[in-house]
Structure 1
Amino acid sequence: MAKMVKIIKKKDEYSMEYEVGDVLKVDSTWYGGVTVLGKTGVPVSIDKDEYEEVQDISEPEKAEPTSIEEGLRPAGQGVSTEAFDHLKEIEDEVRGAVKDLLAVAGLEPGDALVVGCSSSEVANMRIGSFSSEEIGKCIAGAILDELKDTGVYMAAQCCEHLNRAIIVEKEYAKANRIPIVNVVPQLKAGGSFATAAYADMKEPVAIEAIQAQAGIDIGDTLIGMHLAPVAVPVRSEHSMVGSAHVVMARTRAKYIGGARACYR
């Protein structure tokens, strides 16, 4: 609530900005009194003996969203127990996006596709506030199924609480000599998507970082830290999964050298 004062004495008899009995909002304080907003909104300094503090009887001011994401989505209650009747539609959207990416990314067996997914955003809730186990399972299962005959590994990004760690198959981590860390994702510490991926993989392990050759971000989860340079945006007609925004990327090798360099 705003700090308010009631005028009990008026030293400046010529001022039209306040009168005895007025209740005014405090704009700032200083060692000898306060500065209030006068009747016309003009700041006026008044001495300590001219006012007494009173309780603000007006309605409390509504807090502004502390971030863009809070302004865009309502907050859920942590973990969703809701049964969704459009899982087939979500699955189809995910499969379509993966197919579009694979068609242009030029991935080879042994490459990694990093995926970040907010089931909350898919369900039209604020990221991290409405983790849905069944949405996580639906999306993880669809992606793993699309990749099963390609030799490409899915790298599932955990949520911020686990520092966006990655869940991959153990054989991928070993083959690429990536240090394995010890954590098992849960719905509210890792997220529903990473939790589902951990359950569906043959021998899942956690690693802290990866340089993947392509990526899919479902719900603006920020996967850029896990993409190899140089990332190139991939556009698709499948730009949404449920209510979540979808961003995809492939990567390419850096061009180096000067005017005499040749490229392929």
Structure 2
Amino acid sequence: MKVKIIQKKDEYSMEYNVGDILEVDSTWYGGVTVLGKTGVPVSIDKDEYVNVTGDGEAVVSDAESMTVTSGETEFQGGLRPKGQGVATEQFGHLAEIDQEVRGAVRDLLEVANLEPGDALVIGCSSSEVANMRIGSFSSEDIGKCIASAILDELSGTGIYMAAQCCEHLNRAIIVEKAYAKENRIPIVNVVPQLKAGGSFATAAYAEMKEPVAIEYIQAQAGIDIGDTLIGMHLAPVAVPVRSEHSMVGGAHVVMARTRAKYIGGIRAGYREGI
């Protein structure tokens, strides 16, 4: 089996480029592993390739050839596949997801200068991690895996995890009650569920000691897994943090720390590291 690369997510990899036709070594839930230019196995997401025949002709599925006729039409059109709502599949790559998440958290903590009492806001689409369209494939297993990994990495640091809910709850935040009380943030009454809050927030609610929901936070750092848009919950000024851990499963990862605003002008002096 061979595939043709139609887009390239990993801009740093020299193992493959757009237009390359590569031999498939194995498959995984988010795509395939191909043999790169030097013979090294490389994981490729589903939306980075099309299947091709032996002579290099693309194999077009019925779904890929469909045109849009209404808002309800299922189509590829450059978008990820749309799932059935809640995932029922058993995922075999949870250990890899766990390690990718932990690596991202460690990289961020290394440069963010967080202190006990600070908050790390997390946005997460389990659908995107499973290489499906955001909001269409909520996975309880993936949500638990990611929430557990982050809470474990933060254990003993005094840093609070703040879990962003999905749009159904207006991106409310799940935090420990202690954090809301310490920062005098009003508590609202809602309990996240798989399709009304999302799998990650649901798992965070289940694993926190005394979880509550709030509508507003200014977190000192953040990790966005799957482009869920966490900017509204970051304190100014947000500074992007780059990491080798730029993917979790099939989901794109964006991270940021925050810093204090510079005020004053040409005669002002500033402290370093805040």
TM-score category, normalised to shorter length: 0.7 to 0.9
Alpha-carbon displacement from aligned partner over 1:29-64 (angstroms, at most 9, x marks no partner): xxxxxxxxxxxxxxxxxxxxxxxxxxxxxxxx8218
Alpha-carbon displacement from aligned partner over 1:192-238 (angstroms, at most 9, x marks no partner): 00000000000000000100000000000000000000000000000
Shift of 1:262: 0.4
The answer on 1:188 being equivalent to 2:204 is: no
Counterpart Cα distance in 1 of 2:130 and 2:174: 23
What pairs with 1:35-54 in structure 2 (closer than 5 Å)?
A: none
Alpha-carbon displacement from aligned partner over 1:49-80 (angstroms, at most 9, x marks no partner): xxxxxxxxxxxx821897xx984211000000
The answer on 1:252 being equivalent to 2:259 is: yes
Q: Partner of 1:32 in structure 2? A: none
Residues 1:65 and 1:253: Cα distance change in structure 2 (over 3 Å): farther
Residues 1:254 and 1:70: Cα distance change in structure 2 (over 3 Å): farther
Identity %: 85
Q: Partner of 2:68 in structure 1? A: 63
Counterpart Cα distance in 1 of 2:109 and 2:151: 13
Q: Secondary structure at the match of 2:83?
A: coil
What pairs with 1:31-110 in structure 2 (closer than 5 Å)?
A: 62-63=67-68, 71-110=78-117
Q: Partner of 1:237 in structure 2? A: 244
Residues 1:65 and 1:117: Cα distance change in structure 2 (over 3 Å): farther
Residues 1:134 and 1:176: Cα distance change in structure 2 (over 3 Å): same
Shift of 1:259: 1.1
Residues matched between the structures, number: 203
Residues 1:142 and 1:225: Cα distance change in structure 2 (over 3 Å): same
Counterpart Cα distance in 1 of 2:268 and 2:70: 51
Counterpart Cα distance in 2 of 1:177 and 1:83: 41
* Structure 1 portions without partners, runs of 5+: 1-60
Structure number, greater radius of gyration = 1
Quick one: which amino acid aligns to residue 63 of structure 1?
V
Shift of 1:258: 1.1
Q: Partner of 2:22 in structure 1? A: none
Q: Is the 8 A contact 1:70 1:126 kept in 2?
A: no
Counterpart Cα distance in 2 of 1:247 and 1:234: 8
* Pairwise CA RMSD: 1.7
Q: Partner of 2:49 in structure 1? A: none
Q: Partner of 2:165 in structure 1? A: 158
- In the TM superposition, structure 1's runs of 4+ consecutive aligned residues that sit over 6 Å from their partners are none
Q: Partner of 1:19 in structure 2? A: none
Q: Partner of 2:234 in structure 1? A: 227
Q: Secondary structure at the match of 1:72?
A: coil
Q: Partner of 2:137 in structure 1? A: 130
Counterpart Cα distance in 1 of 2:224 and 2:231: 9
Counterpart Cα distance in 2 of 1:118 and 1:64: 27
Residues 1:157 and 1:258: Cα distance change in structure 2 (over 3 Å): same
Q: Is the 8 A contact 1:65 1:71 kept in 2?
A: no
Counterpart Cα distance in 2 of 1:259 and 1:102: 32
* Structure 2 portions without partners, runs of 5+: 1-65
Residues 1:168 and 1:65: Cα distance change in structure 2 (over 3 Å): farther
Q: Partner of 1:199 in structure 2? A: 206
Residues 1:70 and 1:249: Cα distance change in structure 2 (over 3 Å): farther
